Amino acid sequence: RRKFEIAQYDLTEEGWKVCNPACHMYQREMQIQVEKARQRCPQNNCNFDYYTYALLYDMHSVAACDAIYMLKEWNDSPGATAEFYYAKACGKEIIFEK
- pLDDT tens for each residue of 25-48: 999 998 998 888 888 877 766 777
pTM beyond 0.85: the answer is no
- pLDDT tens for each residue of 47-87: 778 888 889 999 999 999 999 999 999 999 999 999 999 99
User: What DSSP letter does each residue of 20-82 carry, written as one string?
Assistant: -TTSHHHHHHHHHHHHHHHHHS-TTSS---HHHHHHHHHHHHHHT-SEEEEPTTGGG-HHHHH
Q: Which residue has the higher pLDDT, 94 or 98?
A: 94
The pLDDT value given to residue 44:
60
Span 3-9, mean pLDDT? 93
